[in-house]
Amino acid sequence: MSQDQTEILQRALKRERAARKAAEKILEEKSRELYFTTQKLELLLDEKSTQLEGVFENILDAYVVMDLEGNFIKFNEAATKLFGYDIARDQVNVINLIYKEDVSYAMTSFLELQNKGFFKNYEARVYTKSKEVKWVHINASVIYDKDKIPVAAQGVVRDITEQKISEEKLIESENRLATLILNLDSGIVLEDENREIVLTNNKFCELFKINAKPTDLLGMDCTAASEQNKILFKDPEGFIDRMRAIDIDKKTVLGDDLEMLDGKILERNYMPIKIGDNYKGYLWTFKDVTLNRTYRKSLEAQKQKYYNIIANMNLGMVELNNNDEILMVNQSFEKMSGYTEAEVIGKNARTLFSTEGGEELLKEEREKRQKGLSNSYEIKAVCKTGKTRHWLVSGAPNYNIDGEIIGSIGIHLDITETKNLEVQKEKLLEKLERSNDELQEYAHIVSHDLKSPLRSLHALVSWLKEDNQGKLDTVSLQNFGLIETTLEKMEQLITDVLNYSSVGADNAVKVDVDLNSMVSQLISILYIPEHIEIKSLHVLPNIQGDKTKLQQLFQNLISNSVKFIDKECGSIIIDVEDLKSHYKFSIQDNGIGIDKKYHDKIFKIFHSLKKSKDSSGIGLSIVKKIVNLHDGEIWLDSEPNVGTTFYFTLKK
C-alpha cells in the first residue's frame, strides 16, 4: 500500500467522521424538533377534542351515539329532551324508537349505514318515551377505531315535527285549491309570460272539446292551441283576432261572448297577473252562458210577442192609473172609441165615455180594482162620433213590482151588434110568447064555438025524443041514438085537439111526482075490463115533471093498451129501468099489435090505425109530446096479434 493510498484513506475516514458527526447533529436537532412538535400536537388534539365535546354537548340538535347492537350510549341534552329518555338510567335500543309504519324504511337506512358508513336526510317518525310521535331528520355515520374497525354509530337528530305539520297543511290547501280549479264550472287556462299553459281544468277541456286530461295540456303553447280551437266558433278568425288583440293589450277584459258552432255561448274573461311591474301570466276563464243568454233571448221574444198581441188584438186595451186617468190605449181602442191615443192620454176615463148612470157603475168597478178584484161588466159608452156603443169590459188591477195597485187594465170588446141581436131576440121571444098565448086562447075559443052547436044539437035531439015519446019507430030511435053517438065523437075530437094544442104551451113548474102512487090511482079510476090484469113489476120512481101531463101520458098509454087487447085474458105489464140520467119505462100488452110499417106513423097526429068511436088518433101524439117535454124518447116493439110494448124515457 502506498503512502498516497494511505493518506487518501485517512482523509476519507476523517471526512466520514465529520459527516457522521454532522448527520448526528442534524438528527439530534430533528429529533428535538420532532419531540416538540409531538408535544404540541398532543396538546392541540386535546384541545380540539374538548372543543368538539363541548360542541356536541351544546348543539341545538340532538346528538346520539349507539353501539353496534343499537343500544344508545350517549345522548346530548337535546336528545334527552327530544326522546325523553335519561341514558344514564334507561337502557334504550333504537328499535324502541322506530315508528311502526316506518320500520322497513328504518331497516333500509340502517343497512345503508352498515355498508356505506353513513346515511343522510333520513326523515321518519319516532316514538318518544311518552309514546308521542315525532317527525325527525337524521344524518348518521359509523365511528371506527384506529384499526378501522367500526365500534359505534353517531347521529344528529333534528325535530322536524312542526315543519312537517305545516308542510302537510300547505299540501292539503294546495290540493284543495287544485281540486277546486279542476272542477270549477268555468274553464280556466293560466298561461305564463311565454303563453305556455301552467294550469287548466276539466271544464276547459270539456268546453273546447279537448279529449285529454288537464295535466296533459301543461306546457302547451296557447297561440298554437287557439289556432286549432278556432274551428269550434262561428267566427273563427274573429276569435283569433280578438284573442290576439287582448294578448297585445294585456288589459283585463270581462264578459266577451263567443258563439260556438253547436249553439253554445261562452263568456270569456281575461286577467293579466302582475307582480310588481312584470307580467307573470295571464288567466283566461270561459263560462257556458248558453242558458242565461237563451233565457234572455226568449224573454225578449216573449215580450215582443205580448207586445204584438196587445198592439194587434181586436180588443181595445186601456191602462188607467189610480185616478182613472188614461195612461195608454192600443190601436184597437183608438178604432173603437174614435179617439187617438194623444187625445185621451191623461183624460179621466170615467167621464170621457160615460153615459147617463154609467159613471156610477164605473165608480163601483174602480172600487173593486182597489180591492184587487177582477171582473167583467157591460157599459154603454159614448164614442167621439157621439154614438152610443155597448162595450164588454174585462177589468183587472195593475200592480207594480212591489205588489202595490197602481191602477187598472181594461180589455174592451164592442158588443153593440151582439147586444142589438140580444134585444131583437128578446123582442122576438116576447112576440112568440104572445102569439103562443093567442093561439092557446084561439084554440079554446074555437073549441068552445064548435062545442056549443053540438050541445044544442044534443038538446034538440033529446027534446025530439022526449016530445015524441011513443010515436017514433025503432029505426028512428036507432037513428037518434046514432046522432047522439056522432055528437059525442065530435065532442071528443074537439077536446083532444084542444088538449094536444095545450101540451107544451103551458109552462107548468116541474115538481116532484110520485109516479108509483099516481099510476096506481090512475088504474083505480080508469075503466079496466074484468078480463084484463095490470101488473107493475117494480116500484115506479119519483121524477121531476108536470103532474097533469105525466098522468095524461100514463092514462093514454094504458087506455090504449086496454083498447086494443083482443085476447080472452088480457095482460098489461108496467116496468121501469134505471138509466143514468133517465128512467126507461115500458108498458107491455098482449093486444092486437102494430105492424112495423106503422111504428113511426102512429105518433103523428090524426093517424089512428083503427077508426073507432073512442079513437081520435091524437092520443099517441099527445103522449109523444109529453115525453119530449120531459127530455125523453118514445118507441115501441110490436108483433101483430101477439102484443105491443111501448118504451119511453123520462128525465130524472
Q: Which is nearer to other proteins, 443 or 557 (CB)?
A: 443
328 binds other proteins (CB under 8 A): no
Contact between 158 and other proteins (CB under 8 A)?
no
Residue 91: its H or E element: none
In the complex, what is the shortest distance from the CB of residue 514 to other proteins, in angstroms, rounded to a whole number?
Answer: 22
CB of 440 to other proteins, least distance (A): 8
**Distance in Å, CB of 454 to other proteins, minimum:** 6
Contacts of 86 (CB under 8 A, 6+ apart): 80
Nearer Cβ to other proteins (271/464):
464
CA distance 146 to 133: 38
Which stretch in 400-408, 456-464, 510-518, 526-534 sits in contact with other proteins by CB under 8 A? 456-464
Q: Which stretch binds other proteins (CB under 8 A): 86-94, 100-108, 351-359, 457-465?
A: 457-465
Long-range Cβ contact pairs of 414-417 (< 8 A, separation 24 or more):
414/316, 414/336, 414/389, 414/390, 415/378, 415/390, 415/391, 416/389, 416/390
SS3 625: helix
Q: Does 456 bind other proteins (CB under 8 A)?
A: yes
CB of 307 or CB of 463, closer to other proteins: 463
Q: Which is nearer to other proteins, 173 or 456 (CB)?
A: 456
* Part of the chain binding other proteins (CB under 8 A), chosen from 381-389, 447-455, 564-572, 634-642: 447-455
Alpha-helical (H) ranges within 84-235 are: 94-97, 103-116, 161-182, 202-207, 222-229
Considering the rule CB under 8 A, would residue 454 count as an interface residue with other proteins? yes
Q: H/E/C letters for each residue in 333-376? A: HHHHHCCCHHHHCCCEHHHHCECCCHHHHHHHHHHHHHCCCCEE
Site for other proteins, residues 476 to 495, rule: CB under 8 A: 484, 487-488, 491
**Separation CA 205–CA 186 (nearest Å):** 11
Nearest to other proteins of 79, 503 (CB atom):
503
- Those residues whose C-beta lies under 8 Å from the C-beta of residue 188, and which sit 6 or more positions away, are 181, 199, 200, 201, 203, 204, 283, 284, 285, 286
- How far is it, in rounded angstroms, from Cα 226 to Cα 317? 55
What count of Cα atoms within 13 Å lies in the side-chain half-sphere of residue 444? Answer: 7
Instruction: Sort residue 340 into left (φ over 0), alpha (ψ -120 to 50) or beta.
Output: beta
Distance CA 503, CA 296 (A): 69
Cα–Cα distance for residue pair 521/540, rounded to 1 Å: 13
C-beta of 166 vs 462, nearer to other proteins: 462
CA count, 13 A, side-chain hemisphere, 493:
17
Taking CB under 8 A as the rule, does residue 460 contact other proteins?
A: yes
Residue 585 and residue 650 in contact, taking contact as beta carbons nearer than 8 Å: yes
In whole angstroms, give the CA distance from residue 334 to residue 341. Answer: 6
Binding segment for other proteins (CB under 8 A), chosen from 371-379, 393-401, 449-457, 603-611, is 449-457
Give the phi and the psi of residue 326 in degrees, each rounded to 5: -75, 125
Binding of other proteins at residue 511 (CB under 8 A)?
A: no
Give the residue, chosen from 242, 368, 458, 584, that forms a contact with other proteins under the rule CB under 8 A.
458
Residue 449 binds to other proteins (criterion: CB under 8 A): yes
| Nearer to other proteins (CB atom), residue 164 or residue 489 | 489
Between 487 and 576, CB nearer to other proteins: 487
User: Which of 452, 517, 521, 544 lies at the binding interface for other proteins (CB under 8 A)?
Assistant: 452
Least distance in Å: CB of 426 to other proteins?
Answer: 24
Per CB under 8 A, 459 contacts other proteins: yes
What contacts 143, CB < 8 A, 6 or more positions away? Answer: 65, 150, 151, 152, 153, 154
CB of 501 to other proteins, least distance (A): 11
User: CA geometry: angle at 438 spanning 437 and 441, to 5°?
Assistant: 90
CB 395 within 8 A of CB 365: yes
Per the DSSP assignment, residues forming a β-bridge with 399 are 405
Which segments of 268-348 does DSSP mark as H helices, in order? 290-312, 331-337, 341-344
Instruction: Indicate which single residue of 448, 596, 604, 613 sits in contact with other proteins (rule: CB under 8 A).
Output: 448
C-beta of 152 vs 490, nearer to other proteins: 490
Nearer to other proteins, 257 or 449 (CB): 449
* Whole-angstrom distance, CA of residue 387 vs CA of residue 396: 26
Cβ at position 448, least distance to other proteins in Å: 4
Least distance between other proteins and beta carbon 580 (Å): 35
Verify binding: residue 462, other proteins, rule CB under 8 A.
yes
Least distance from other proteins to the Cβ atom of residue 456, Å: 4
Sequence-distant (6+) residues with CB within 8 A of 646 are 557, 560, 586, 587, 588, 634, 635, 636
With CB under 8 A as the contact rule, the residue among 455, 535, 601, 613 that binds other proteins is 455
Asked whether position 613 contacts other proteins by CB under 8 A, the answer is: no
212 binds other proteins (CB under 8 A): no
Query: Closer to other proteins at the Cβ: 176 or 448?
Result: 448
Shortest Å distance, C-beta 461 to other proteins: 8
The least distance separating other proteins from the CB of residue 443, rounded to whole angstroms, comes to 9
Q: How far is the CB of 565 from other proteins (least distance, A)?
A: 28
Task: Measure the CA–CA gap between 320 and 407, rounded to whole angstroms.
Answer: 5
**Residue window 407-446: x/- pattern of binding to other proteins, with contact defined by CB under 8 A:** ----------------------------------x--xx-
Q: What is the DSSP string of 554-586?
A: HHHHHHHHHHT--SSSEEEEEEEEE-SSEEEEE
Least spacing, CB of residue 491 vs other proteins, in Å: 5
State which residue, 349 or 494, has the beta carbon closest to other proteins: 494
Instruction: Tell me, by CB under 8 A, how many residues bind other proteins.
Output: 22
Q: 6 or 452, CB closer to other proteins?
A: 452
Stretch of 4-12, 74-82, 454-462, 558-566 lying at the interface with other proteins (CB under 8 A): 454-462
Return the number of other C-beta atoms located less than 10 Å from residue 166's C-beta.
Answer: 10
- The correct pick among 463, 478, 544, 606 for binding other proteins (CB under 8 A) is 463
Task: Report the residue number, 359 or 488, with the smaller CB distance to other proteins.
Answer: 488
Sorted by sequence, the CB contacts under 8 Å of residue 442 that are 6+ apart come out as none
Closer CB to other proteins, 422 or 614, in the complex? 614
Neighbouring CB atoms inside 10 A of 638's CB total 21
Phi, psi of 581 (to 5 degrees): -100, -10
Of 487 and 532, which has the nearer Cβ to other proteins? 487
Name the DSSP letter for residue 148. Answer: S
Chain residues that interact with other proteins, rule: CB under 8 A? 441, 444-445, 447-449, 451-452, 454-456, 458-463, 484, 487-488, 491, 506
